[in-house]
């Protein structure tokens, strides 16, 4: 069985408080009725405003039953910002799994 293809939006460069509105508009415009995939591979720097934007989108998607996923696990600047901001939990919860792609393992 093949996975459903979702529209994909690529976020590039630095995403911070000065460019957050542009990122929001780009994500909103690319969203399809079934959800959205977000590619962060070309992000060179972020601040917490972008993390908060995606967290809000992730929660809204979960509540509405639509898909929101990253095209690959967070890495580099994105992962470091998540760690510094306390957005990752151990053991992984839904928020952590969204960012890292890790599945919780039953003990």
Rounded to whole angstroms, the Cα distance separating 66 from 25 reads 18
Rounded percentage of the chain residues whose pLDDT exceeds 90: 79
- pLDDT tens-digit readout, 5-53: 899 999 999 999 999 999 999 999 999 899 999 999 999 999 999 999 9
> What pLDDT does residue 4 have?
67
Domains in the chain with CATH codes:
8-100 (3.30.750.24)
Asked if 69 and 98 touch (Cβ cutoff 8 Å), the reply is: yes
Query: Which range (34-43, 75-84, 94-103) has the least confidence?
Result: 94-103
């Amino acid at each position: 069985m093949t996975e459903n293809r979702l529209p994909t939006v690529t976020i590039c460069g630095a995403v911070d408080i000065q460019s957050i509105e542009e990122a929001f508009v780009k994500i909103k415009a690319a969203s399809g009725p079934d959800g959205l995939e977000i590619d962060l591979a070309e992000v060179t720097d972020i601040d917490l405003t972008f993390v908060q934007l995606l967290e809000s989108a992730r929660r809204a998607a979960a509540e509405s039953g639509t898909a929101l996923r990253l095209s690959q696990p967070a890495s580099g600047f994105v992962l470091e910002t998540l760690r510094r901001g306390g957005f990752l939990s151990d053991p992984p919860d839904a928020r952590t799994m969204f960012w890292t792609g890790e599945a919780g393992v039953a003990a």
